[in-house]
């Protein structure tokens, strides 16, 4: 029996696990998150394991396949403990050398080290990499010490002690007071104070209550929650257990996107293991507290990230939101009081209970406490997950951590907050990132997506992209959102296709106002943000499209034309082979020509041409 | 349908498990066949109309069979600014199908997804469950040709 019947069982298990670990000579940590898996890390893990077995070292050297370390661009990532030697872009073929040289003899393999793109210097440990240096990785930093499929790893790293501490003697109202004192606000984007939500839910009468973990991270360009759930599912479970104890719930749900298969799998394994260890089920750790969690997969509807739509979906219904005149803390899942929080919010709970609210609140700004994880992506050198204290400036994130724009171009803007957020121009990059400042600037911190855009991005096209997304994802229940977003998209499409008129810009603003006032849920209320923010900060781009019928970034197809410069083309034929529309013709070794009638302006030829002979005008 | 038994096990007469059940049916067949829809609605105790309403609302479900190979192009913001549209154009030009459609010979289905959370590696295409990162139209063209069993060099503009 592995069941832990009281908190001292948990402590003695931890001691046994740590003692067993002391016998291991070293540990090879390999990232197995979705990003690194795409870069073939499972092959690396298998090759390292096989090589260790071949050399008879599998007992002395432990291989730990972990979740995401955050620096996805450089994957697969490998760290060797002790010493924290950091290798990146490791291939299965490197396994033999890593075991023979680094593990056995302690040699460093130069070619696998990370090269700092700024100084050109080879770097040996994560701590020396600028991408990590400027971060404050309280949540993400824990991923490295845990194999998400092994509850023992989590326990050995101090996991479930916050739960044990809570059950051993912190009354629900004290838990809520602690969360309130920490100033924790909802990480899903709305920033509602978590302690207040719990308090309202706890006050409701009745003993049938629910906690829900919102892992339906639909914002395109954001993957913080995927990473946390994938890499450290027990941390989320522990947070939910503490929350359930505080509000008096006995059942919980994790609603996770089906598009995150690894997160679904790891969450399921974690729930099973927690049940096996008696951390979920009846009378947890010998206390009167009973609690269990179920996993539900989302059906690929963006609107289900909205709390009432999510709850409808959990009930097996179409995911349509309802008016929130009565809050879900009173009338939630199956009309019972429900506390719904985002993955990252739950993840912050155990540390607040264990280390105290004061430590959590020491970081951040006056009204936004703690750290926040951002998904830094787009046209930036270092892409990946970034965790910083609230209030860090956009400049620090994009330039110090992200390393600035790729390919020698200039950064133009950063898009924050997904489809509900907005685009901020580079001259506003000194703004501190927190819940309130970005909203005042017309963007939104949102759940933490941060997409960097450079000169090659057309801001009108970006607005069109988000409107297209929202039109597709609007559930259709309320008219302002269903019809309004459709009309916004129609007008912006006119502008990008050269049919724009000046008065349409005023109409856009007018419509945007109506939609944001009259829509039922946050999807509709915030839908105009991408248009409004681009109009506010990049009016000249709209004018260029409307008045001069030009797309300065060379993106909007109807306003551009591709041609091949005769003096640069040497007739190699790559563009001709690449063109999926058969629009390029020529004889062998002759200068190629683009047929304007056939050309669909997809730009594939530009990407294929090695001589930069194809231009856009 | 005996194949459905494991999917329905433990879910009978529990209408709230409709979405979870349909997810498993979708995984089993690659779409939601009519017979399976009837069986799921009957066994869970959901009106057939409601089952279809749910099936049509969520993007995870398809009422039409998919092709032998499924190419899913991620069109999340990060992939979009790195040229995901070029990838869609590539497939449109190469196979003459739109997202959600399958080629007439049943070889390829093109899908688009709003974000798979591998944003750092964009643009991303998922070929039958395998994530392919930093995709280019050229790489995609070759992958599609390969999946259709075409030899190198053979090309068509459908």
Cα–Cα distance measured from residue B157 to residue A102, given in angstroms and rounded to the nearest whole number: 51
Crossing angle of helices A233-247 and A224-231, in 10° steps, is 90
Q: Is the predicted pLDDT of residue A406 greater than 90, yes or no?
A: no
Q: Do A316 and B19 touch (CB under 8 A)?
A: yes
Q: Give the CATH class of A459-547.
A: mainly alpha
Question: What residue ranges of chain A are covered by domains with CATH 1.20.1440.230?
Answer: 459-547
Closest residue, chain B, to A386 (C-alpha): B120
B-proximal residues of A, 496-515, CB under 8 Å: none
For residues A372-399, one letter each, b for 16 or more C-beta atoms within 10 angstroms of the residue's C-beta and e for the rest, the string is bbbbbbbbbbbbbbbbbbbbbbbbbbbb
ipTM of the complex: 0.90
Q: Which of B41, B63, B72, B78 to mutate to test the interface with A (most CBs of A within 10 A)?
A: B78
Can you name the CATH fold of A17-128?
Glutaredoxin (3.40.30)
Q: Quick check: A303 contacting B, CB < 8 Å?
A: no
Tell me which residue in B58, B85, B136 faces A299 most closely, judged by beta carbons.
B58
Task: Output the 3-class SS for A310-355.
Answer: HHHHHCCCCCCCCCCCCCCCCCCHHHCCEEEEEHHHHHHHHHHHHH
Asked if the model's pLDDT at residue B155 lies above 50, the reply is no
Selected from 3.30.70.20, 1.10.3720.10, 3.40.50.300, 3.30.420.610, the CATH number assigned to the domain covering A561-616 reads 3.30.70.20
* Count of A-B CB contacts under 8 Å: 178
Q: Average pLDDT for residues B128-136, to the nearest whole number?
A: 91
Written as one string, the DSSP assignment of A166-219 is HHHH--HHHHHHHHHHHT-B-TTTT--BHHHHHHHHHHS-SS--EEEEEE---S
Q: Hey, what are A339's tokens?
A: 């506390």
**Best residue in B119, B141, B150 for a mutation probing chain A (most A CBs within 10 Å):** B119
- What whole-number distance in Å separates Cα of residue B112 and Cα of residue B121? 17
Distances (CA, A) of A400 to A388, A394, B73: 12, 10, 31
**pLDDT tens sequence across A450-498:** 999 999 899 999 999 999 999 999 999 999 999 999 999 999 999 999 9
Closest CB to B20 among A218, A296, A466: A296
Give residue B138's pLDDT band: very low, low, confident or very high (50, 70, 90): confident
Grade residue A38 by pLDDT with cuts at 50, 70 and 90: confident
A601: nearest Cα among A577, A578, A583, A574: A583
Name the minimum distance, in Å, from the CA of A87 to any CA of chain B: 18
Give residue A221's pLDDT. Answer: 87
Q: Domain A371-454 class? A: alpha beta
Question: Which pLDDT value is given to residue B102?
Answer: 94
- Closest partner residue to B131 among A37, A227, A578, by Cβ? A37
Best probe of the B interface among A224, A299, A523, A582, by most B CBs < 10 A, is A299
- Comparing alpha-carbon positions, the chain B residue that sits nearest to A33 is B118
| Residue in A with minimal Cα distance to B86 | A602
Where exactly does CATH 3.40.50.11540 map onto chain A?
Answer: 145-361
- Would the pLDDT of A215 be above 70? yes
Provide φ and ψ at B9, rounded to 5°: -55, 130
Residues 453-482 of chain A whose Cβ lies under 8 A from any Cβ of chain B: 453, 457, 462, 465-466, 469, 473, 475
- Do the Cβ atoms of A316 and B17 come within 8 Å? yes
State the SS3 of A368-385.
CECEEEEEEEECECCCEE
* Mean pLDDT for the stretch of residues A292-313: 95
Percent of chain A with pLDDT over 90: 76
- The pLDDT assigned to B82 comes to 86
CATH architecture of A145-361: 3-Layer(aba) Sandwich (3.40)
Q: Residues spanned by CATH 3.10.20.600 within chain A?
A: 371-454
Range(s) within chain A of domains with CATH label 3.40.30.10: 17-128
Q: What is the mean pLDDT of residues A389-408?
A: 92
Residues 6+ apart with CB under 8 A from A271: A237, A254, A280, A293, A294, A295
Bridge partners (DSSP) listed for residue A545: none
Q: Are B73 and B67 in contact (CB under 8 A)?
A: no
Read off the pLDDT of residues A548-587 as tens digits, 9 standing for 90 and up.
Answer: 999 999 889 999 999 998 889 988 888 888 888 889 988 6
Mean pLDDT of chain A, nearest integer? 93
Task: Give the number of residues written for chain B.
Answer: 158
* Chain A residue with Cα closest to B90: A580
Q: Using the beta-carbon criterion (under 8 Å), do A473 and B114 form an inter-chain contact?
A: yes
> With an 8 Å Cβ cutoff, are A318 and B92 in contact?
no
Which chain B residues are within 8 Å of A496, Cβ to Cβ? none
């Amino acid at each position: 029996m592995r069941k832990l019947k009281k908190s001292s069982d948990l402590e003695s298990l931890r001691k046994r696990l740590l003692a067993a670990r002391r016998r291991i000579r070293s540990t090879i940590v390999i990232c197995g998150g979705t990003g690194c898996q795409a870069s073939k890390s499972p092959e690396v893990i298998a090759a390292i394991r096989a090589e260790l077995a071949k050399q008879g070292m599998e007992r002395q050297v432990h291989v730990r396949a972990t979740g995401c370390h955050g620096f996805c661009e450089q994957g697969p990532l490998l760290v060797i403990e002790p010493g924290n030697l950091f290798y990146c872009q490791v291939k299965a073929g490197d396994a033999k050398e890593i075991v023979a040289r680094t593990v056995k003899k302690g040699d460093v393999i130069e070619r696998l080290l990370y090269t700092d793109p700024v100084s050109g210097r080879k770097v040996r440990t994560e701590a020396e990499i600028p991408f990590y240096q400027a971060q404050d990785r309280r949540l993400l930093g824990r991923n490295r010490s845990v194999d998400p499929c092994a509850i023992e790893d989590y326990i050995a790293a101090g996991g479930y002690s916050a739960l044990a501490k809570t059950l051993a003697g912190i009354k629900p109202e004290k838990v809520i007071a602690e969360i309130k004192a920490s100033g924790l606000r909802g990480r899903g984007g709305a920033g509602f104070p978590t302690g207040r939500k719990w308090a309202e839910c706890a006050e409701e009468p009745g003993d049938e209550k629910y906690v829900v973990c919102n892992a339906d991270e639909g914002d395109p360009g954001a993957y913080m929650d995927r990473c946390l759930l994938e890499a450290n599912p027990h941390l989320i479970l522990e947070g939910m257990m503490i929350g359930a104890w505080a509000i008096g719930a006995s059942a919980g749900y994790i609603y996770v996107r089906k598009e995150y298969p690894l997160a679904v799998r790891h969450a399921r394994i974690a729930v099973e293991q927690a049940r096996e260890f008696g951390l979920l089920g009846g009378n947890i750790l010998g206390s009167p507290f009973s609690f269990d969690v179920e996993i539900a997969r989302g059906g690929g509807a963006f609107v289900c990230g909205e709390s009432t739509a999510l709850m409808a979906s959990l009930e097996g219904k179409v995911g349509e939101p309802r008016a929130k005149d009565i809050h879900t803390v009173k009338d939630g899942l199956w009309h019972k009081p429900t506390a719904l929080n985002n993955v990252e919010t739950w993840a912050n709970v155990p540390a607040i209970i264990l280390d105290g609210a004061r430590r959590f609140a020491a970081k951040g700004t006056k009204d936004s406490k703690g750290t926040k994880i951002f998904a830094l992506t787009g046209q930036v050198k270092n892409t990946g997950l970034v965790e910083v204290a609230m209030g860090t400036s956009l400049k620090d994130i994009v330039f110090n951590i992200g390393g600035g724009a790729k390919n020698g171009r200039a950064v133009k803007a950063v898009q924050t907050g997904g489809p509900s957020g907005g685009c901020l121009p580079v001259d506003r990059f000194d703004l501190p990132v927190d819940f309130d400042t970005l909203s005042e600037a017309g963007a939104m911190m949102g759940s933490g997506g941060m997409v960097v855009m450079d000169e090659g991005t057309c801001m009108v096209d970006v607005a069109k992209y988000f409107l297209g997304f929202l039109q597709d994802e609007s559930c259709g229940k309320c008219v302002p959102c269903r019809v309004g977003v459709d009309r916004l998209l129609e007008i912006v499409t006119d502008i990008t296709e050269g049919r724009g008129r000046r008065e349409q810009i005023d109409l856009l603003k007018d419509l945007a106002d109506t939609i944001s006032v009259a829509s039922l849920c946050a999807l509709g209320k915030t839908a105009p943000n991408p248009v409004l923010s681009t109009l506010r900060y990049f009016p000249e781009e709209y004018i260029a499209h409307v008045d001069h019928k030009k797309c300065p970034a060379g993106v909007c197809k109807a306003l551009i034309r591709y041609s091949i410069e005769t003096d640069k083309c040497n007739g190699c034929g790559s563009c001709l082979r690449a063109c999926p529309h058969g629009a390029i013709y020529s004889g062998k070794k002759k200068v190629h020509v683009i047929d304007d009638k056939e050309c669909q302006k997809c730009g594939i030829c530009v990407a294929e041409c090695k001589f930069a002979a194809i231009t856009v005008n | 349908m005996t194949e459905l038994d494991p999917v329905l096990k433990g879910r009978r007469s529990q209408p709230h498990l409709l979405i979870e059940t349909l997810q498993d049916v979708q995984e089993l067949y690659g779409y939601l066949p009519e017979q399976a829809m009837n069986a799921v609605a009957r066994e869970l105790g959901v009106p057939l109309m409601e089952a279809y309403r749910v099936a049509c609302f969520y993007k995870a479900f398809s009422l039409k069979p998919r092709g032998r190979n499924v190419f899913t192009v991620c069109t999340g913001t990060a992939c979009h600014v790195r040229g995901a549209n070029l990838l869609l154009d590539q497939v449109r030009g190469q196979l003459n199908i739109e997202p959600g459609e399958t080629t007439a010979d049943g070889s390829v289905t093109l899908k688009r997804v709003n974000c798979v959370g591998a944003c750092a590696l964009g643009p991303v295409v998922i070929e039958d469950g395998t994530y392919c990162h930093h995709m280019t139209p050229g790489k995609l063209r070759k992958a599609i040709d390969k999946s259709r069993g075409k030899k190198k060099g053979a090309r068509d503009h459908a």
